[in-house]
């Protein structure tokens, strides 16, 4: 007979629970990718370099970086026409569907077309990951064309940041704009066992395939408590309107017990280092332009949140403002997060497959005690 005491405690939301090991990213003492501090990586602003680091474990040589970029561009320019045809059909019937939903569906279709049923050997997984790095921004750009009734434009080539920014804005970006966009991709690339990454690892822990894992990750990232927060940030700033309304608006949110999007983080208690880096870049980027007014408003909200609740901004707070300054529509903010995080997701999928055990936590039951079944006639 089992006389062990019943379990009465659990970690809601798995807060503070160590669920595994990873060599990809560390949050102890600051954010590091494969041992490299995030600040010099962000300042270098080369997303392909960071993606290579996450997937291959080391920074690339110039020759490796060039070949890697060529493989990504090749993937972006050779997306299976059947996937684009399917998206075109969806765009005709559901032109107002969210780009996140289109991306989730597009990645799932690519898995079907590749017949991605079970994980292959490591070299095959790396090749899949590299293709997804190119296919994902191409799918996003294609959907934005198709959902507005335009034919799909050609992928312009070059870096992911330059090509995607050009495709989403319809303009040739300046070098400064590409650099800022690249920095956001670097900062969004990876973040340890966050919700979407953990979802992807859970999927492949069952023996499932990479495309299934990425589809689940996109669905997870869509939520406003995860990646969807960057779209909500601009709504918040638009709702407040001006710096002189900031305090009243924030107090209203507190009174209604509402979350102010873009603030606080489950892991960073002393502020998100990524937000600090990007916040400075954003202010420099818009200085002397009409964007200064939005930055003044953002600064005012930051001060109020810190004084009233001790909360500091997370990455979504400045990222939304950078994307707005770049002329990007709000509905692509979270899909851009997908483009960047594809590097981290696929690296984690490969790591999980390489040292796998089925992820299967237990739960603490809190329902009725044992009950006797009563037949339908006696109910």
**Which residues, in sequence order, are CB contacts of 100 under 8 Å at separation 6+?**
218, 221, 222, 228, 334, 335, 338
**Alpha-carbon torsion (48, 52, 58, 64), positive or negative:** negative
Q: Which three-class secondary structure state does DSSP give residue 186?
A: helix
Q: How many CB atoms lie within 10 A of CB 269?
A: 9
Q: Which one of the listed residues 46, 209, 316, 348 is annotated catalytic?
A: 316
Contact predicate 188/318, CB 8 Å: no
Q: Say how far apart CA 86 and CA 91 lie, in whole Å.
A: 9
Q: Say how far apart CA 350 and CA 213 lie, in whole Å.
A: 11
Q: Which one of the listed residues 211, 265, 324, 348 is annotated catalytic?
A: 265
Q: What is the DSSP letter of 263?
A: B
Instruction: Answer yes or no: 191 catalytic.
Output: no
Q: What is the DSSP letter of 379?
A: -
Q: Which two tokens stand for residue 87?
A: 């998206």
Give the angle subtended at the CA of 234 by the CAs of 311 and 182, to the nearest 5°: 90
Instruction: Answer yes or no: 265 catalytic.
Output: yes
Closest C-alpha among 368, 243, 366, 222 to residue 300: 243
Tell me phi and psi for residue 33, to 5 degrees: -105, 115
Partners of 313 in the beta sheet?
263
Q: Which three-class secondary structure state does DSSP give residue 106?
A: helix
Catalytic residues: 265, 316
């Amino acid at each position: 007979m089992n006389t062990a005491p019943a379990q009465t405690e659990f970690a809601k939301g798995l807060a503070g629970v160590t669920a595994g090991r990873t060599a990809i990213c560390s949050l102890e003492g600051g954010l590091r990718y494969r041992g490299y501090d995030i600040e010099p990586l962000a300042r270098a602003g080369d997303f392909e370099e960071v993606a290579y680091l996450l997937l291959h474990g080391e920074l690339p040589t110039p020759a490796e970086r060039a070949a890697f970029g060529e493989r990504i561009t090749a993937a972006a320019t050779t997306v299976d026409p059947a996937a684009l045809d399917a998206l075109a059909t969806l765009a005709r019937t559901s032109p107002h569907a969210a780009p996140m939903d289109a991306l989730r569906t597009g990645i799932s279709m690519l898995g079907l077309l590749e017949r991605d049923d079970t994980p292959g050997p490591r070299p095959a997984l790396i090749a899949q990951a590299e293709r997804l790095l190119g296919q994902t921004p191409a799918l996003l750009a294609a959907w934005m064309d198709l959902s507005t009734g335009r034919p799909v434009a050609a992928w312009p080539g070059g870096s992911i940041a330059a090509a995607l920014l050009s495709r989403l804005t319809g303009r040739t970006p300046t070098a400064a704009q590409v650099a800022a966009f690249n920095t956001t991709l670097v900062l969004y690339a990876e973040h340890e066992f966050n919700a979407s990454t953990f979802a992807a690892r859970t999927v492949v822990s069952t023996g499932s395939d990479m495309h299934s894992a990425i589809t689940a990750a996109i669905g997870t990232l869509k939520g406003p408590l995860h990646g969807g927060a960057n779209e909500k940030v601009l709504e918040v700033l638009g709702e407040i309107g001006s710096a002189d309304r900031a305090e009243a608006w924030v107090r209203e949110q507190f009174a209604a017990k509402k979350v102010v999007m873009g603030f606080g983080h489950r892991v960073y208690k002393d502020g998100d280092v990524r937000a600090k880096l990007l916040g400075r870049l954003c202010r420099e980027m818009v200085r002397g332009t009409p964007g200064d007014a939005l930055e003044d408003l953002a600064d005012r909200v930051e001060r109020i949140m810190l004084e009233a609740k001790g909360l500091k901004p997370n990455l979504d707070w400045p990222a939304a403002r950078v994307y707005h300054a770049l002329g990007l529509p709000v509905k692509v903010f979270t899909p851009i997060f997908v483009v960047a995080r594809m590097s981290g997701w696929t690296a984690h999928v490969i790591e999980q497959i390489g040292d796998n055990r089925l992820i299967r936590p237990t739960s603490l039951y809190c329902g009725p005690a044992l009950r006797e079944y009563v037949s339908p006639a006696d109910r």
